[in-house]
Amino acid sequence: MEADSVGGIAPAVLVTLRHGEKVLAAHGLMLYKEHQVQVHRRTMKSLGVSRTHLMGMHALGDSEESYFFAEFEGPGHVSFSRDKGGEVRVLQLAPGQTIRLRDGHLICFDESVRYYPMVLAQYQSPVPDANGQRATTYLFADELTGPGTIVYQSYGNILSFNLQPGEAMRTSVAGLLACANTVGLRIDWLASPAMASTGPVPLPVLDITGPGMVLVHSGT
C-alpha cells in the first residue's frame, strides 16, 4: 500500500490501494473512501490474537484495543483520521522488525504486518486508596512486526531517540509513544516535598534502557 500524510493541523492519511491490496484500521477511523473499495470485518482471531487474551486485556483496565478491525480492499483510495491534532508518521518495517506502539495511536497497517496487543508495563500506586487498595495501572501497546507499512499518529509533536546499548533515558508515563522491542522499560517513582503543598506526591516515570528506537510525543 502507499500511504501519505495529508494536512498539518489534524493530519489525515491517504492510502492508495492496488487491486487486491488490503489495509487494516480500527473501526470508525475512516474519513472517506472511494466506492469501489470494499469493507470487511477482520477478527482478532484471524490475526492470531485469541479472544481470551483480548478479554483478559480489557479486564485489566482501560484498554482501547478493538475486538475486530475494518479491512479495506483495493483498488482505490481510502483516507483515515484520528480527529486529533498531532503528527502522522508512515513507517516501513523490515522483516522481523518490531515496534511497540501505545494503544490509541495506530491508524492503519498492511495485511502483512503481524499485530499483537500487549501490556507494555504495569505499576501499583504507592498510596493506598480509601479502601486500602493499591490500584494497578497497565500501559497497553500494539506490538507490530514487519514486513510491511504501518501508520500511526502522535498527539503533539514526536521526538525520536536511538539509544545505544546500556544508554538510559527517563520519560513521563504518558509521554512514551513507541519503542523497539529491544528496549528495556522499568517504572520508577519521583517524589519531592516541593511537588505539592500537602507533601510529597509520587510521580510515576519510565526508565528506558537501550539499545533501540524510542519515540516520545509532546501531547497526551
- Closest CA relative to residue 101, chosen from 74, 111, 91: 91
Q: How near is the Cβ of 34 to another protein at its closest, in Å?
A: 6
Give the nearer residue to another protein in terms of CB position, either 22 or 77.
Answer: 77
Q: How near is the Cβ of 118 to another protein at its closest, in Å?
A: 24
Taking CB under 8 A as the rule, does residue 156 contact another protein? no
CA-CA distance, 90 to 4, in Å (whole number)?
7
Query: Could you tell me the CA-to-CA distances from 186 to 91, 159, 205 in Å, in that order?
Result: 26, 20, 8
Taking CB under 8 A as the rule, does residue 58 contact another protein? no
Give the nearer residue to another protein in terms of CB position, either 51 or 186.
Answer: 51
Which residues have a Cβ under 8 Å from the Cβ of 130 and sit 6 or more positions away?
A: none
Site for another protein in 74-103 (CB under 8 A): 77, 79, 81, 83-85
> Which of 22, 58, 68, 143 touches another protein (CB under 8 A)?
68
Give the nearer residue to another protein in terms of CB position, either 44 or 208.
Answer: 44
> Per the structure block, which three cell numbers stand in for 27?
473501526
CA-CA distance, 212 to 18, in Å (whole number)?
33
CA-CA distance, 79 to 216, in Å (whole number)?
25
CA-CA distance, 218 to 4, in Å (whole number)?
22
Taking CB under 8 A as the rule, does residue 191 contact another protein? no
Taking CB under 8 A as the rule, does residue 22 contact another protein? no
Site for another protein in 25-54 (CB under 8 A): 27-28, 30-35, 39-41
Query: Could you tell me the CA-to-CA distances from 194 to 80, 82, 133, 189 in Å, in that order?
Result: 44, 38, 26, 15
Taking CB under 8 A as the rule, does residue 11 contact another protein? yes
Give the nearer residue to another protein in terms of CB position, either 30 or 121.
Answer: 30
Q: How near is the Cβ of 201 to another protein at its closest, in Å?
A: 25
Taking CB under 8 A as the rule, does residue 7 contact another protein? yes
Which residues have a Cβ under 8 Å from the Cβ of 46 and sit 6 or more positions away?
A: none
> Which of 14, 90, 173, 185 touches another protein (CB under 8 A)?
14
Taking CB under 8 A as the rule, does residue 147 contact another protein? no
CA-CA distance, 163 to 24, in Å (whole number)?
30
Contacts with another protein, residue ranges (CB under 8 A): 6-12, 14, 27-28, 30-35, 39-41, 68, 70, 77, 79, 81, 83-85
